[in-house]
């Protein structure tokens, strides 16, 4: 039987790239995100190219009932999940804390922290029943450092870092691996979402240096997931060569 990976936020960027990588490696996939049209298109493409089974489940990770209903509603064979990639996440805004938009704060906290927890609560129990599994949490360099105006986004990613450590401790006795992958600057839809559709502002984030692309992180995630059974990578930070810290990027122009 093929192994199964559940990838949250598979409609774009790092999650979509992970779907391609795990499909190439012969995994059957559960792909989630809010944009059902993108999930359907991706599932069809991967099914045609790799002849794997793909289940799609469209839900908003912020909505606890939707998460439970959607995951519990999958046919029972899909509970044999080997790898969970907790990738769905976002940033909204880049403002000093005294000027921050409170709705944006709620969105980031509800998505990056609470959404990740809702999914993990369900899938970790499947893994415990199965006696195996690997949870890979997508953190950020923003979970290791705090930068100007990054306040709440950085706090959510610091929370992911802490939850990763907590999961590692709590799930150890069940034989479940837990890893955090912390990317630096990756050119995806991330900045467009942060700047609410302002494509020009988003583009500027990646100007003057070569950023990572989503596939760089997907290949790192695959490396982490494909270590032998007795090896767990707890934590890994991956950056563009031109970046040494959250805000320290060498730009040629
Ligand atoms: P993208 O914006 O390209 O993709 C984000 C994904 O998350 C989409 O598939 C989106 O799907 C999903 N998502 C967002 N909100 C929700 C929600 N409420 N419910 C369900 N799914 C949701 O960004 P990236 O690929 O760059 O981001 C992936 C992860 O990587 C995030 O956790 C981000 O914080 C992290 N990261 C990104 C970095 C970067 O520089 N790009 C650097 C460090 C970390 P949909 O909109 O269809 O729901
Ligand atoms: C995304 C990277 O540096 O914008 O997590 O916070 S950064």
pLDDT over threshold 80, residue 156: yes
pLDDT in tens, 108-135: 999 999 999 999 999 999 999 999 999 9
- Averaged pLDDT, 29-41: 98
pLDDT at 139: 98
> Whose CA is closest to 221, among 1, 2, 5?
5
For the full predicted model, state whether its pTM sits above 0.90: yes
- Given the cut 0.95, state whether the ipTM is greater than it: yes
Task: Look at the alpha carbons of 182, 187, 191, 192 in this order and tell me if their dihedral is positive or negative.
Answer: negative
Which of 6, 8, 9, 160 most suits a substitution to test ligand 1, by most atoms within 8 Å of the C-beta?
9
User: Residue 172 to residues 123, 138, 179, 235: CA-CA distances in angstroms?
Assistant: 15, 19, 12, 15
Question: At residue 125, what are phi and psi to the nearest 5 degrees?
Answer: -70, -35
All domains of the chain, ordered by start, with CATH?
4-185+213-238 (3.40.50.720)
Reported as a pLDDT band with limits 50, 70 and 90, residue 35 is: very high
**Cβ pair 137, 178 in contact under 8 A:** yes
pLDDT tens digits, 227-240: 999 999 999 999 99
Q: 53 with 65: CB under 8 angstroms?
A: no
Q: Which ligand is nearest the CA of 148, by number?
A: 2
Pocket of ligand 1 (CB under 6 A): 9-15, 33-35, 60-62, 87-90, 111, 115, 138, 140, 183, 185-186, 188-190, 193, 214
Specify the pLDDT at position 48.
96
Amino acid 66: pLDDT: 98
Judge whether residue 253 has pLDDT over 80. Answer: no
195 and 202 in contact (C-beta within 8 Å)? yes
Q: Is 219 exposed, middle or buried (0-12, 13-18, 19+ CB in 10 A)?
A: middle
| Cα distances (Å, whole numbers) of residue 225 to 4, 95, 194 | 12, 36, 29
pLDDT tens, residue by residue, 40-90 = 999 999 999 999 999 999 999 999 999 999 999 999 999 999 999 999 999
Beta strands (DSSP E) in 35-103 are: 54-58, 83-86
Round the average pLDDT of the chain to a whole number and report it: 98
Per-residue pLDDT, averaged over 175-179, amounts to: 98
Please tell me what DSSP assigns to residue 57.
E
Q: Mean pLDDT over residues 202-217, rounded?
A: 98
- Distance linking the first and last C-alpha atoms of the chain: 52
- 160 band by pLDDT with thresholds 50, 70 and 90: very high
Decide if pLDDT at 216 tops 80.
yes
- When pLDDT is cut at 50, 70 and 90, the band that residue 1 belongs to is confident
Triad 59, 14, 82: Cα angle to 5° = 70
Nearest atom in ligand 2 to the alpha carbon of residue 205 is 4
- What are the tokens at 214? 């989503």
């Amino acid at each position: 039987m093929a192994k199964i990976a559940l990838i949250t936020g598979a409609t774009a960027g790092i999650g979509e790239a992970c779907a391609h990588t795990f499909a190439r490696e012969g995994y059957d996939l559960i792909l989630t995100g809010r944009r059902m049209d993108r999930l359907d298109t991706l599932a069809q493409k991967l099914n045609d190219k790799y002849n794997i089974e793909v289940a799609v489940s469209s839900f908003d990770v912020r909505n606890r009932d939707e998460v439970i209903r959607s995951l519990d509603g999958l046919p029972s064979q899909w509970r044999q999940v080997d790898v969970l990639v907790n990738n769905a996440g976002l940033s909204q805004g880049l403002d000093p804390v005294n000027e921050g938009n409170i709705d944006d704060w709620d969105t980031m906290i509800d998505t990056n922290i609470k959404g990740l927890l809702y999914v993990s609560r369900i899938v970790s129990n499947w893994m415990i029943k199965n006696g195996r599994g690997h949870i890979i949490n997508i953190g950020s360099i923003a979970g290791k450092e705090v930068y100007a105006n990054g306040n709440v986004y950085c706090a959510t990613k610091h929370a992911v870092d802490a939850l990763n450590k907590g999961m590692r401790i709590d799930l150890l006795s069940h034989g479940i691996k837990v890893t955090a992958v912390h990317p630096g600057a990756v050119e995806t839809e991330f900045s467009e979402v942060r700047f609410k559709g302002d494509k020009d502002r988003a583009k500027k984030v990646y100007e003057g240096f070569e950023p990572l692309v989503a596939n760089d992180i997907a290949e790192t995630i695959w490396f982490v997931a494909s270590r032998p059974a007795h090896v767990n990578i707890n934590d890994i930070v991956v950056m563009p060569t031109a970046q040494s810290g959250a805000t320290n990027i060498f730009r040629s122009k």
